[in-house]
Amino acid sequence: MPSQSKRTDTPPLSSHAIAPEPAEAWLRVASIVRPQGHRGDVIADLLTDFPERFADRPAVALRPAGATVPTRHVTVTSYRMHQGRVVLHFDECATMNDAETLRGLEVVIPWEKRKPLPEDEVYIAELSGCVLIDTCSGRTVGTVIDVDRETSNSALLVVSPVLVGREEAEIEGANSAGEELLIPFVKAYKPRWDLKARTLHMELPDGLLDLTAELSAAPDEPRDASSD
């Protein structure tokens, strides 16, 4: 069974998932897109680097996107990779109509059932909520809230801190409060994390924060109706 390839210049990241709060002990492993075929299969975006674990862990749960607890439990009877996504079949889902009811749901597993990682690897869920600090300048960049895997290298989605009691202009190089930045998570930036302290240190090159801020603020390109 094929497995998802890892990018060699990206530190090992093993799940695109929001860090669970004490009341939310679930890890996202897939997001169902739509039915696939006529036999109850669904095709889903893969949110884990370990798709082969679907064979080891047939019991999973489903929940609406953004929910904190699952609404139903299902059993994976088969899975296969298809054009970068995963096709799943659940024992409880026999027809296309059954599969249609699962559209948009997240596939989750208990947090404690996640695959153990070596010390030099980390789950995205564990980085979410960490404060990112630029080792070179000592600046607090912001708080990691998610990861973008659509870029050529995984990029952390970071929200810059709210500046209290001081004008932003007084802080040299400060980004706007609440600004969202995409920071590439690559080995070249020498990431070091302390999950107990909830900190992530990276050696960010000069100008990176300004560039990512400009890209985040850039308006969408106008759509050319003639291309429809």
> Is residue 9's pLDDT more than 80?
no
User: Which residues form the domain of 88?
Assistant: 26-113
> Is residue 76's pLDDT more than 80?
yes
* Least confident stretch, 6-15, 103-112, 114-123, 213-222: 6-15
What pLDDT does residue 55 have? 87
Are 41 and 103 spatial neighbours (Cβ–Cβ below 8 Å)? no
Q: Which range, 12-21, 46-55, 170-179, 191-200, has the best average confidence (pLDDT)?
A: 191-200
What pLDDT does residue 27 have? 84
Q: Is 119 exposed, middle or buried (CB count within 10 Å of its CB: 0-12, 13-18, 19+)?
A: exposed
In a domain, 167, yes or no: yes
> Is residue 83's pLDDT more than 90?
yes
Local confidence band at 127 (pLDDT 50, 70, 90 cut-offs): confident
The larger pLDDT score, comparing residue 226 to residue 195, is at: 195
**pTM across the whole model:** 0.58
| CATH code, 64 | 2.40.30.60
What pLDDT does residue 187 have? 86
Contacting residues for 207 by C-beta, under 8 A, at least 6 apart: none
Task: Please identify, among 83, 113, 143, the residue that sits at the C-terminal boundary of a domain.
Answer: 113
> Is residue 7's pLDDT more than 70?
no
Which residue from 129, 149, 131, 137 is spatially nearest to 208, judged by alpha carbons?
Answer: 137
What pLDDT does residue 113 have? 81
What pLDDT does residue 116 have? 76
As a whole number, mean pLDDT of residues 5-11 equals: 42
On whether both 141 and 201 belong to a single domain, the answer is yes
In a domain, 4, yes or no: no
Number of residues written out for the chain: 228
CA distance 168 to 200: 23
| CATH code, 194 | 2.30.30
In a domain, 6, yes or no: no
